[in-house]
Structure 1
Amino acid sequence: MDEHEIAWAAGFFEAEGTACSSQRRDRPSRERNMAVYQGGRAAIPEALLRFHGAVGGRGNITGPYRDRLFHWSTKKNAAFDEVMALMWPWLTEWKRGQLRTATVTAGRKMPPACADGADAPPTLRSTQLAWVAGFFDGEGYIGASGAPGRRTIEMSIGQASTDTVPVTLARVAAVLGVGNLRGPRTMANAWSKLPQYVWRANAFGDVQFAVAMLWRWLGPVKRAQAREALLRYQALGRAA
């Protein structure tokens, strides 16, 4: 398996994935469920197909639900453990805790690869960038707007937190080395009542650098958005 694709999958799971345990109706035991969600209508989102391939074809993709949502998921214990072990080295402690809680509450043991002391994060820069690309594919925004002489460009990732800067955003900032961390900010939107933090790059040079660093591992949707934003920003400059 390609460790860069696994690192990408871990970043994508960090952004869009969830794990829990629930009571089974037909027996007293609890079962675990691991899932990754993506919006889509006509076809399975490329990101879900890529995730499915990155974890060795484990799990299944189903949907669309209500004509707008697909998801990859697995409830099989073997697949759950194997996918968890594959992604473990690149996951943050917050997401590891979610997987650990799902496993313990279901009465299962953690795989040896996920035991305490086996969790040193990889230091290879290329896999760190692949993780950031996966996280950005799931949660990132990039766009340019304005008019000639008053143009702006932004590349950002937002996250909610109850106490401090999310470790995911701190990792993005550390790996890319550009942009700033901001927050907390209380949002008026009903979808999130938690304080919001954001990693954001507003300078054209910083955005261009970050895109170049992530390009190899970004999915086609974010590549298209990045290309459009950079070209639009440059076009607004020429029209000034």
Structure 2
Amino acid sequence: MGQPRPLALFGGTFDPVHLGHLSVAWEASELLDAEVRLMPASVPPHRPAPLATPVQRVAMLQAALERQSRLSLDTRELDRSGASYTYDTLRELRAEQGTRPLVLLIGADAFAGLPSWHRWRELFDVAHIGVLSRPGVEARVPEALEREVAPRRVSEPSALHGVPAGKVIELAVTPLEISATRIRELLAEGRDPRYLLPCGLFDDPALLAPYRAAGQSS
């Protein structure tokens, strides 16, 4: 039996999930030849609580991920009470997946702030890190982080296959400048951000109701 494909995790509040999220997750899956799971956060430690409830965000993600097999949904952080710490999630996945390569996908800006994360140095013990960056734009990182990641950097996705954790790779993906904040504003104003959101979110009016209701109550 051959080595299993890497499992990559792409987290966020997804409040709501939009085409920018799906586009970069899809590209990362192709570049890494990996299964990618979108993982909605429960109580993000570094940002305000989502407007939509966990049940509503899961329903939106399920609608967005229909009719394709490259991206899937993992709700474990919503099922776990308390703050969502990435290290705890990755450690749990490592226990489940054995030696299968795990890849944490994060944007270049979030990667630069990695030293503020809970148990950040231990992340490399349980997963690789895939830094989602703009083509031709090099991410600047703090000196302490650079010292940690310099010996771990690789340029070829194949270097992550067969190794459970510990590498850092930069993935040049096509950024779509879509703001979830702006989408919430448009919906609250009664407008229709048709080409910013997955088509499936418009099939059921209840999916976007939390954001429209926010405008009616303000």
TM-score, normalised to structure 2, is: 0.35
Higher relative CO (CA 8 A, sep ≥ 6), structure 1 or 2? 2
Structure whose alpha-carbon radius of gyration is higher = 1
The structure that is strand-richer by fraction is 1
